[in-house]
Amino acid sequence: MSCRQELISKLEGKTAVIGIVGLGYVGLPLMIRYNAIGYSVLGIDIDADKVSRLNRGQSYIEHISDESIAIARSKGFEATNEFSRAGECDALILCVPTPLNKYREPDISFVTKTTDALVPFLREGQVISLESTTYPGTTEEELLPRVEASGLTVGESLFLVYSPEREDPGNQNFATRNIPKIVGGHTQYCLEVGQTLYRQAIDTVVPVSTTKAAEMTKLLENIHRAVNIGLVNEMKIVADKMGIDIFEVVDAAATKPFGFTPYYPGPGLGGHCIPIDPFYLTWKAREYGLHTRFIELAGEVNTSMPHWIVTKLMDGLNDQCKALKGSRILVLGIAYKKNVDDVRESPSVDIMELLQGKGAIVEYSDPHVHSFPKMREHKFDLHSVRITKESLHGYDAVVLATDHDAFDYDLIAEQSVLLIDTRGKFRATQSNIIKA
């Protein structure tokens, strides 16, 4: 029996050990899924605090309960920061960050450093799957040579696939199991093994011809969303100048039963994918002498939204004969989307920094983020404040940046001296509310 057939047999028989490298918003749900269906799962992460908490049965992500981690532990899940244990795994699924650097260029150092750390411990009969969002060609150009430097031949003794993560935290209708999984392999044998790996845990597996096609698929999904949000954000500015409520317009257009998909404007883009992915493709396209003007224009519109909102706030304060400098501003919601605790790339944080840079006294309230988290580029020593009638009166303005369901919107509308609504939550016209 070849090592490929033996690996497929292990995966189908659930005797394979699944290694999840990177235990964050993508890796942790994947661990729980494989553990729940009977696989032995080993989690590998460089963060010693995460490893310690998981091994105590504790979660550090709001929508993943301590109970689910404790159940996984009772079924044999273990977390470690020792990459030497990668040799115990039959499958290694890489779920590490791929941010942008300060020049808005791809930073795949987490991918390359993780791969380099794994290489000394790779062995015959393993499959490696990269799930991190990246530019087309990463698997072939960065992972393949590193893996084959170990002396193993990809497609024969070791198998390499790319399968982009598809997570939507806070969405009750979709979880790891029922989100279709794209899989591309470096060779046909790699694809066969990759499909077998994911078919056990995911209801629908969608094969594509190459790892590049799989990488491009992920970018298209998120660029589609980014471009359409950029369009409606630009429409918002035009509508505002004309005295038109863009949210009313989108709602009305959405009644058309064909040819229109509603996208709603907001304070900008957030999360680990949509604000970042378009720049991965624009950067790679330049290697081919191409300028992705349409994508870059949408990116410019979306990244300008926090500045536009701060301008609307300053106009509102001016109407009350107040300066932004020295004013107390409360930002409602710092997570990048409603009902989650994920602050990555949140436009709310950009708004806070712009306000602080102009001399405002900034605080925030977010029922899902009790303390401002440690972030590579943003530093605020703040804790979420409680919203009451009295506390709202103490602010010169309130900015609704993320429309969590837990907020008391009647109280906020009634008691805010000045309210900047970036989410279209308040449709009725009120003298103290500015739609932005």
Looking at every residue in the chain, the average pLDDT score rounds to: 94
pLDDT of 190 higher than 80: yes
Output the pLDDT for position 272: 67
The DSSP 8-state label assigned to residue 276 in this structure reads T
Question: How far, CA to CA in Å, does 231 sit from each of 133, 305, 385?
Answer: 23, 12, 34
Confidence of residue 99 (pLDDT cuts 50, 70, 90): confident
Query: pLDDT tens digit string along 125-161?
Result: 999 999 999 999 999 999 999 999 989 999 999 999 9
Output the pLDDT for position 208: 98
- Selection from 423, 430, 431 nearest residue 250 by Cα: 423
Complete domains list, the chain, with CATH: 3-209 (3.40.50.720), 225-435 (3.40.50.720)
Active-site annotation, residues: 273
Contact between residue 427 and residue 247 where contact means Cβ atoms under 8 Å apart: yes
Share of the chain above pLDDT 90, in %: 84
Model confidence, pTM: 0.91
- Selection from 377, 307, 388, 311 nearest residue 343 by Cα: 377
- CB atoms inside a 10 Å sphere around CB 267: 28
**Span 179-204, average pLDDT:** 97
- Selection from 387, 394, 386 nearest residue 417 by Cα: 394
Contact between residue 398 and residue 365 where contact means Cβ atoms under 8 Å apart: no
Query: pLDDT tens digit string along 403-429?
Result: 999 999 999 999 999 999 999 999 888
> Among the listed ranges 61-75, 100-114, 230-244, 312-326, which one has the minimum average pLDDT value?
100-114
- CB atoms inside a 10 Å sphere around CB 178: 10
The continuous run of DSSP H or E covering 353 comes out as helix 347-357
Question: Which tokens belong to 209?
Answer: 């011809």
